Structure 1
Amino acid sequence: MPLREPSTGTGRRAKAVAVAAVVTVLAAVGTAGSSLLGGGGTAEEGAGASPGPRASASASASASASPSPTPRAGAAEQPTIPGWKVVVNPEFGTAFDVPPDWDVKDPAALYGFQDSTIDPDVPANWDKFIVLASGFASLRDEWCVPDIDTSGRVKGTELAGAGTKGAKGAPDTDRLALNQAAAWVYGGYTQPDKKSIISDRTAKPYTTKSGVKGSVAWARSKNAPRKNRCSSEGKAVAFGFRNSAGGYVAWVLYGAAGVRDELPDSTVMRILGTVRLHGTPKKG
């Protein structure tokens, strides 16, 4: 049951462990995309690495600028799809909507996947995370709860998650989308195996409902390693674009694949269509 902000004590470590299996917790990175496909921004560039007051961190990577106009003040707080919830990322100046059954997290908290080779009892460290994002929302945090491991930790797993990260140094939106889609599938479902990742060869141009232009790419796993009863195949879609400050930003949604409750691709694309610019980003 990943997705928890860091805190002190064994409680934090227990949550962080649940992380390694599927989504994780708090902090900032993103190099996996670069190592898998080459280029696309490093970890520190992807999300800021300066801890906030509650041991979470504010994203601090470059966001992205798009030709679409900056929304009116307060406009993005209202969902573009009636009945849905708004997920805002003030660090990168973006927003998107999720269905009502999703859980919207603190926009300043970072979520991602921890390197599975790291001892979960070692205190959280920014370098221990493969991918991270902020402005995050998750679907069914307790979708699957496997047996307690030998250390007495309960590893809960969410069904899906989505968030935004910066990507300073990305060469273009195509490479950014391709890198991030593969990185999140690797971090959440296949690590340490990279051969089970099936990625789009090329990204496709995409424009959201609000007019934000960029590139979209998918990645999926096939025959991913099974570590416990909650292990499953995974999928991720990434949208690379620029925010109003001109910085590169990636919006990513990942989820379990090949399971009865799998989030349909049609719903994934509907969520993606709501991605928009929001306010003035703190980083560009």
Structure 2
Amino acid sequence: MWPGEQPAKSEHAWRDMPTSPSGQPAGPPPPRRSNRAVTVAVAASATVVVACAAVAGYVLLGDGDGSDPGPAPAPPTQSRSQSPADSRGDAGPEPLVRGWKVVLNPERGIAFDVPPEWDPKSADWVRYTAENDDPEDTPLVAMRAPAYLKEKWCTSDENRDGSQEDTPLASVGSRGNSGAADPREAASGDSRAWVYGEYAQPDRGKVRSGRVENFTTRSGLSGTLASAWSTGVSTAKKCASDGRAWTFAFRDSEGKVMSVSLVGATKVPGEVTETTVRKIMGTVRLESG
């Protein structure tokens, strides 16, 4: 664990996963591939509580106070490439960057823009990473309403279970950080957790931290921007690479800590540049309603 962390409480993870149309539990998340994150569908109205090792306490990805709301409805049938605006049945907010796409997490009121080649998912999708040897698959860190750059950048069967799995070149999404004392802690902790979970594990010594700086977006939202990266990751496996993560953390209008993280492979063709990351983070804003 990073300094100051508390052990994750796996018995509370995923207790609010959606049910199937028949009312029976939808079952555990799908098997993980080594050193890669998993994306799962959840009911947009459900509270999803995940144990988080990046910061102390729990992270609330959906609405609510963490209490068990009972069985949640199954997520609506939809295309995985459906945009947030389409899934809500309205035009949605306009991008700040002409020609870019808006990524929206309506549960948190967070919006930001991504370049046109990125593929935004709806708020019904949660992406997370966990320890490879954790039988409970307890999330280390997670993001809601992710967007992907080259979602099928690499395909392999690293755990040799006969199922081919896709690895994106990069992903970006947002979340609440209810366990963080302040934006600085959230930005530093989340960026390191993403790099460790997706690229460096089981060796935390391969994670390096970058500069932690004050950052203000185009909308005037002020917070902290931090980065972390891996070094020396073995590329013996087909989809393995070093990676980097950037997290912009801030407080919303109620003083709650929120964050947006961008995670991607490095030292590979087409990797996301720092210029692009800063441009994306510069569009982060709070949307009401």
Q: Report the secondary structure of 1:25's partner residue.
A: strand
1:166 aligns with 176
1:267 aligns with 276
How has the CA–CA distance of structure 1 residues 52 and 163 changed in structure 2, closer, same or farther, with 3 Å as cutoff? farther
1:99 aligns with 115
Using the TM superposition, give the Cα deviation of residue 196 of structure 1 relative to its aligned residue in structure 2, in angstroms: 0.2
2:23 aligns with none
Is the 1:236–1:253 contact (alpha carbons within 8 Å) kept by the matching residues of 2? Answer: yes
What is the distance in 2 between the residues matched to 1:171 and 1:148?
37
Q: Does 1:185 align with 2:195?
A: yes
What is the distance in 2 between the residues matched to 1:24 and 1:260?
23
Using the TM superposition, give the Cα deviation of residue 92 of structure 1 relative to its aligned residue in structure 2, in angstroms: 1.1
Q: Does 1:245 align with 2:254?
A: yes
What is the distance in 2 between the residues matched to 1:141 and 1:246?
34
Q: Report the secondary structure of 2:74's partner residue.
A: coil
Is the 1:46–1:132 contact (alpha carbons within 8 Å) kept by the matching residues of 2? Answer: no
What is the distance in 2 between the residues matched to 1:258 and 1:14?
30
Q: Report the secondary structure of 1:269's partner residue.
A: helix
What is the distance in 2 between the residues matched to 1:268 and 1:210?
16
What is the distance in 2 between the residues matched to 1:261 and 1:212?
29
What is the distance in 2 between the residues matched to 1:101 and 1:203?
28
Using the TM superposition, give the Cα deviation of residue 6 of structure 1 relative to its aligned residue in structure 2, in angstroms: 8.5
Q: Report the secondary structure of 2:277's partner residue.
A: helix
How has the CA–CA distance of structure 1 residues 93 and 155 changed in structure 2, closer, same or farther, with 3 Å as cutoff? same
Q: Report the secondary structure of 2:199's partner residue.
A: helix
How has the CA–CA distance of structure 1 residues 13 and 226 changed in structure 2, closer, same or farther, with 3 Å as cutoff? farther
What is the distance in 2 between the residues matched to 1:7 and 1:231?
34
Using the TM superposition, give the Cα deviation of residue 52 of structure 1 relative to its aligned residue in structure 2, in angstroms: 4.4
Q: Report the secondary structure of 2:165's partner residue.
A: coil
Is the 1:76–1:278 contact (alpha carbons within 8 Å) kept by the matching residues of 2? Answer: no
Amino acid at match of 1:160: A
Structure 1 gap segments, 5+ residues each: 35-40, 57-73, 120-124
What is the distance in 2 between the residues matched to 1:237 and 1:75?
29
2:39 aligns with 25
How has the CA–CA distance of structure 1 residues 141 and 7 changed in structure 2, closer, same or farther, with 3 Å as cutoff? farther
2:73 aligns with 53
Q: What are the superposed Cα offsets for residues 151-207 of structure 1, whole Å, 9 maximum, x if unpaired?
A: 20213210000111111131111111111110110111111210000012x521000
Aligned residues with identical type, % of pairs: 34
What is the distance in 2 between the residues matched to 1:79 and 1:209?
12
What is the distance in 2 between the residues matched to 1:14 and 1:248?
27
Q: Report the secondary structure of 2:39's partner residue.
A: coil
Is the 2:19–2:72 contact (alpha carbons within 8 Å) kept by the matching residues of 1? Answer: no
What is the distance in 2 between the residues matched to 1:186 and 1:128?
14
Q: Report the secondary structure of 2:202's partner residue.
A: coil
Q: What are the superposed Cα offsets for residues 211-253 of structure 1, whole Å, 9 maximum, x if unpaired?
A: 0000000100001244621100000000110112221001100
Q: Does 1:144 align with 2:154?
A: yes
Is the 2:51–2:138 contact (alpha carbons within 8 Å) kept by the matching residues of 1? Answer: no
Q: Answer 1 or 2: which has greater helix percent.
A: 1
Q: Report the secondary structure of 2:155's partner residue.
A: coil
Q: TM-score, normalised by structure 1?
A: 0.76
What is the distance in 1 between the residues matched to 2:159 and 2:257?
40
Using the TM superposition, give the Cα deviation of residue 89 of structure 1 relative to its aligned residue in structure 2, in angstroms: 0.8
Q: Report the secondary structure of 2:204's partner residue.
A: coil
Q: Report the secondary structure of 1:145's partner residue.
A: strand
1:115 aligns with 131
Q: Report the secondary structure of 2:175's partner residue.
A: strand
Q: How does 1:32-71 map to 2 (within 5 A)?
A: 32-34=53-55, 41-42=56-57, 44-48=58-62, 52-54=72-74
Which portions of structure 1, spanning 4 or more consecutive aligned residues, are displaced by more than 6 angstroms? 5-8
Amino acid at match of 1:45: V
Aligned length: 242
How has the CA–CA distance of structure 1 residues 226 and 13 changed in structure 2, closer, same or farther, with 3 Å as cutoff? farther
Q: Report the secondary structure of 1:95's partner residue.
A: strand
